[in-house]
Amino acid sequence: MYLRQFRKLRLVNLAGNPIAAAADYRSYVLSHIKDLTYLDYRRVNAADVAAAVEQHQDEMIELGEKEATEAVAEKESAETAAHAALMKEANLEGIETLLEDMVKADVEWSKLSQIPGLVDGWTDVKDKVGIATEEFKARSTPHAMPTVSCMAKA
């Protein structure tokens, strides 16, 4: 239901709307819109909401799982965007993928990677660069943050 996305929605009046003619309209709306206080000029009581949720239980479980998955994906996306912005502010943009980008750009890498023992050395290099990158980020990122906050105050 489209109106479900409005988390602070407390009053809905669909009187006169064609959906209001449906037999299970009231229970459908009550089960799908959380914290609704009034529906079609009438106060909603907890017993009606409980009965509506029970009537549409299967659909509500499915909808709840979908919303939980979307919330996790949205949170991860926000964290990724915040991390990318932080890395850009600290002038570390691209450092996390530097080695992979170098290898991807090398047209001969597929041939070189088949040489016995070369990949082992490359793995060691990647590990050492990863450790150095983490140490560099740990030292550099805190220094970048006060500059940003000072600029925000100005």
For residues 130 and 146, give the distance between their C-alpha atoms in angstroms, rounded to a whole number: 25
For residues 141 and 86, give the distance between their C-alpha atoms in angstroms, rounded to a whole number: 8
- Comparing 36-40, 72-76, 96-100, which segment has the lowest mean pLDDT? 96-100
Q: Kindly write down the DSSP assignment for every residue of 51-79, as one continuous string.
A: HHHHHTHHHHHHHHHHHHHHHHHHHHHHH
Task: List, for residues 96-143, the tens digit of each pLDDT value.
Answer: 888 888 888 888 888 888 888 877 888 888 888 888 877 876 776 554
For residues 30 and 6, give the distance between their C-alpha atoms in angstroms, rounded to a whole number: 14
Q: Which residue do the tokens 């799908």 mark?
A: 32
pLDDT at position 153: 42
